A and B are shown apart, each in its own frame.
Chain A
Amino acid sequence: MREFAYQRTTQIRDALSSVARHDGARFLAGGTNLVDLMKAGVESPARLVDIRSLALGGISESPDGGLVLGATATNSAVAADPLVRRRYPALSQAILAGASGQLRNMATVGGNLLQRTRCAYFADPSEPCNKRAPGSGCSALGGAHHNHAILGWTEHCVATHPSDMAVPLTAFDAVVRYETLDGPGEVPLSEFYLPVGDRPDRETALPDRALITAVVVPAAEVAGKSRYRKVRERASYAFATVSVAAALDVQDGVVRDVRLALGGVASRPWRARLAESALRGGPVTAERISAAADLEVAAAEPLRDNGYKVTLARNLIEAVLTDLAASSGAASGGAAGNGAAGAGEESDG
């Protein structure tokens, strides 16, 4: 039997020093991904330091009107939070589009960001995989890659990042806060995931043995008018083929602000800045939305068997922005410019 030590900590400092002291120690939160990978033989930590008893589970308002999501707040808690649902509806929708109720009750904010790709070759230790075993090769490049990346990949790795939650967080310019023994730090989510390059095993900019403590979502009026749409190979319980998080603020027919990010297309949530720039400040028309979608996917480089994702990403950008434009049009007759009157908002009753 593959044995490992398990310890529970109640102080951040204890958790950090324990992981620093023991080689092969890892933080354990919900365990919904790490424990699976341990069973599959992909991960074999010598010690698990359980951080669920740390005081990091809160969801609070930041002074600027944004939100601070504690690292161990569960996915369920974030999705159900009234402030999240009102100010960042796409975030709530994204979380609820992922996994199952049971998994969301266990999974956490920090763990969600650090989950690993669901590439089947990564999950099978008998297969070459540069992400799991650096230098062994990428099996998916010439193998079964129907659901792999179309953007930002290199010949070293074509895997996608599986998170739904991270897609709207990327669109909303979230910042990851962490703690180390040398003190706290933070990194914008847009820089959190490293480019694939030739070392796909190095996935994040998080310092070695650092602990994510929170994700800060800045205030943004546009986020109140946001939506998440996930397309997957069945109606539920599957990772995204392509997903889109979008927010659109239209004033007098002109795009005042727009946010757009794609999931399922790259090694990280893909912020669609080209499309955003094309739309921002101009009139909202079908032609311009269509052109923005085309512009964003123009850089896509599909693999042998996933060209359909380019079409899908393009269509999905167009569909979600069109829906947002249509509903913001309807809303503009009433409380125009009120960030709280966004489309796709659910009553928090």
Chain B
Amino acid sequence: MNANGITAAVGEPRPRVEGRLKVTGSAAYVADVPMPDLAHGWMVTATVSRGRIRDIDATDALAMPGVLGVLDHRNARRLNPDAAHHFGPDRGLPMLQDDAVPYAGRPIALVVARTPEQARAAASALRVTYDAEPHDTEFSMNHPAARPASTLFGPEADTGDLEAELAVSTVVVDEVYRTPEENHSAMEPHVATAWWEDGHLYALDSNQGPFSISQVMAMLFFIDRDRVHIRAEHVGGGFGAKTICGAQIILAAMAAEHFRRPVRVALTRRQVFLAIGSRPPTEQRVRIGAGADGRLRAVHHHAAFALSPLAEYIEWCTEQARTLYAAPAIRTELSAVPLDRLPPCTMRGPGATPGSFAFESAVDEVAERLRIDPLRLRLLNQPAASPVSGRPWSTRRLITCLEEGARRFGWAQRDPRPRLRREGNLLVGTGVAAAAFVAGVFPASATIAAETDGTFSVRVGASDIGTGARTALIAVAADALGVSTERIRLHIGDSDLGPNPGAGGSRGTTSCAFAVTEAAKALREKLDDPARPVTVTVDTTPLINWRPAEERNTYSAVFAEVTVDPATGEVRVRRLLGMFAVGRVINPLLARSQLIGGMIGGLSMALHEESVRDPITGRLVTADFAGYHISAHADVPNVEADFVADYEPQDPSGFNGLGEIGNAGVAAAIANAVWHATGTRHRTLPISLGRVVETAAPRDRQEAISAV
């Protein structure tokens, strides 16, 4: 309780403020917002993996009812070829500019009609012919085109004498791990409605950051950013797939200008699979050397991922190797392999999630070969400071996560030997993995107005993609202003609300909370006359990173129990426990919900998810939920997520982001549990039944029959 008798809102488990709107279907998502004189665009995508468009014959399509026209490279307006997003220039952003087909799924035309049904029907009457060219979509880390990845996130690690340490190690694990292409599968497919007025572009768009999307759109269309106005009030999930400026808004804006009326482009599920970036496949070689005492001596993690030559991208898989454990020699390498594939896009826990599968599987293999408990091995190698930079941690409660998780999970009773526990025909095993996720804040701006009715209007360009950011920021604003949450009027999801990083990198809420807290501080200093409205705006650019000497991360320890039927290869996760150190928690109800969601995503990645491309055509075969399997309810067991007490000293309120740490670590914990159950190490995801099924019949069948 504060001096005004108001109970602190931060730390309280409060349900989402818009929860009622959502469960009653009255929260208006982009496609729900009516628009007078609206036309509808239907996206047409390329069906070859590389080549040139020979012809697009629209004769039949144009004659169909309701059709307003067809946009393609022959009549579309020119877009800025140098437009860039956070990874740098992206040649994939300018669409419909030429006849080149750089990947299957590339948008090549937009059919515009009065109704979506008319547009769709006309699109299917479009006759597209290609001059196909040989393509290369087959990913491997040894591909001749492999090259060092962008170092935008900083240089890779290289400390100590790796080969010398490996040479004196008692055991050396040297294995290759693979993760497939994966799709975000947000519930709401990408959709945008765009219109132009007096040289200003307006758009409702399902995205994760209206401000950054407005920057890209301004570049693309050669206009000032303050002439681009993008709103995203409610967003039905993103998982990274809506951090980019998507085909839907680019095409809608082009068509709105061309046809001089508002145009909506709503993608189907299949179109999202085909045309919106996915997590790229990875191949990762991990070498770890350790002494007989269980101390790691050498860590080498070389990860490669696929991308498109159109744009830079980083799947930063090597974060775990430089953060989790102490070792005198640590080297990380990151390679990118340009292929004729859909350009990748950050997906929940980019890098850390596939990276931790490889690295924490390899650490488990070290424990296996040393015959040492894998939990003990992890505890034994905890670094006092960053093993690469030598800098101190701002906070690091990983040991507490591991120990408290082990206590709750009942780890002490575990026999580390594999393939010992049976229940009928099932093999039972348990596994653990640790994870770290780099934390921090991006610059953001917030405006708070003290209104004369006693309320406070808080304006911040945050995105609530279903995480509960809106609810969290109301609590932060209320506490920072020393008032009850009922007096906060929060406005988010609008590029006009000032610079904002959006919901990405696990930093949306912490970045916005920082700005709101600072704005509230500034406002309270000016708030002398309650009858007079006062407005302040604070941009956190000069305020953040005031303790740069420290490394800032969030941490988790994940424990899994699985059953495996060796006769059928069926793997079921029976228990999943995650202990998290994520700073001070704003809203434990929503935070727990988000972490459990992340853990389910990790389970789904471990056992089910795999985008499959045709080995001959390179086209995506699994472009729907019949082919791309995410875990069903029946696959999801008792999942527990909880927090250890933590406080982030780099944040004025002690917060850290937790958007992605829930995913990382889960796949490795499950893979390690499958090894413990079966004695077989699975180094390729997903751990599908075809990979697990064993040719030898279970031994105890004989006994079952002899009882007859």
Contact = CB atoms under 8 A, between A and B. Distances in A.
Interface stretch (B190-198, B389-397, B695-703): B695-703
Contacts of A17: none
B161 interface: no
Given A143-B615, A250-B708, A318-B567, A236 B121 contact: no
Contacts of A329: 707-708
B229 interface: no
B3 interface: no
Given A237-B632, A285-B705, A322-B701, A316 B47 contact: no
Contact of B621 (A120, A316, A319, A325): A120
Interface centre among B569, B622, B693 (most CB of A within 10 A): B693
B706 A236 contact: no
Interface string B225-253: 00000000000000000000000000000
Interface string A147-179: 000000000000000000000000000000000
A45 interface: no
A234 B605 CA distance: 12
A319 B632 contact: no
A223 B619 CA distance: 45
14 contacts: A120-B621, A120-B626, A123-B624, A144-B621, A231-B570, A234-B607, A234-B632, A235-B572, A241-B690, A250-B708, A315-B697, A318-B697, A322-B705, A326-B707
A197 interface: no
B680 interface: no
A329 B705 CA distance: 9
Q: Interface majority SS on B: helix, strand, loop or mixed?
A: loop
A155 to B, nearest CB: 15
B568 interface: yes
| Range class of the A interface residue count | 35 or more
A180 B239 CA distance: 54
B616 interface: yes
Contacts of B568: 231, 312, 315-316, 319
Contacts of B626: 118, 120, 123
Interface of B: 47, 65, 115, 117-118, 120-121, 124, 425, 567-570, 572, 607-608, 612-617, 619, 621-624, 626-627, 629, 631-635, 688-691, 693-695, 697, 701-702, 704-708
A347 to B, nearest CB: 22
Given A308-B693, A312-B569, A323-B704, 20 more contacts: A1-B117, A139-B614, A142-B615, A142-B616, A144-B612, A144-B613, A233-B688, A234-B607, A234-B634, A236-B632, A308-B689, A309-B690, A311-B693, A315-B693, A316-B567, A319-B425, A319-B568, A322-B704, A325-B704, A326-B708
Nearest to A230: B568
Contacts of B690: 146, 241, 306, 308-309, 312
Interface string A220-245: 00000000000101111110010000
B631 A121 contact: no
Contacts of B612: 144, 146
B704 A121 contact: no
Nearest to A125: B124
A173 to B, nearest CB: 26
Nearest to A284: B708
A21 interface: no
Contacts of B120: 1
Contact of A312 (B425, B632, B635, B693): B693
A253 interface: yes
Nearest to A293: B697
A309 to B, nearest CB: 8
Contact of A284 (B115, B569, B688, B705): B705
Contacts of A290: 697, 701
Contacts of A121: 621
B693 to A, nearest CB: 5
A289 interface: yes
Contacts of B689: 231, 233, 241, 308, 312
A190 B559 CA distance: 49
B621 A2 contact: no
A142 B617 CA distance: 10
A126 interface: yes
A315 B569 CA distance: 10
A341 to B, nearest CB: 16
A285 B704 CA distance: 10
Nearest to A318: B697
A319 B568 CA distance: 9
Nearest to B47: A126
Given A234-B635, A329-B708, A315 B567 contact: yes
Contacts of B608: 233-234
A286 interface: yes
B708 A236 contact: no
Contact of A143 (B616, B623, B706): B616
Interface string A279-292: 00000111001100
B629 A238 contact: yes
Contacts of A184: none
A253 B614 CA distance: 50
A65 interface: no
Nearest to A321: B705
Given A120-B622, A233-B688, A241-B689, A311 B705 contact: no
A144 B425 CA distance: 31
Contacts of A236: 632-635
A73 to B, nearest CB: 25
A24 interface: no
Nearest to B613: A144
B617 A143 contact: yes
A135 interface: no
Nearest to A229: B568
Contact of B705 (A1, A142, A306, A326): A326
Nearest to B622: A120
B126 to A, nearest CB: 12
List the 8 shortest-distance A-B pairs measured between CB atoms, nearest first: A329-B708, A235-B634, A308-B690, A236-B634, A315-B567, A286-B705, A144-B621, A1-B117
B701 A318 contact: yes
A166 B129 CA distance: 41
B572 A311 contact: no
Contacts of A1: 65, 115, 117-118, 120-121
Interface in A94-144: 118, 120-121, 123-124, 126-127, 139, 142-144
A107 B626 CA distance: 17
A315 B689 CA distance: 13
Interface centre among B65, B425, B626, B631 (most CB of A within 10 A): B626
Interface centre among B47, B117, B705 (most CB of A within 10 A): B705
B118 to A, nearest CB: 6
Contacts of A285: 705
B41 to A, nearest CB: 16
Interface centre among B47, B569, B697 (most CB of A within 10 A): B697
Interface centre among A1, A126, A311, A318 (most CB of B within 10 A): A1
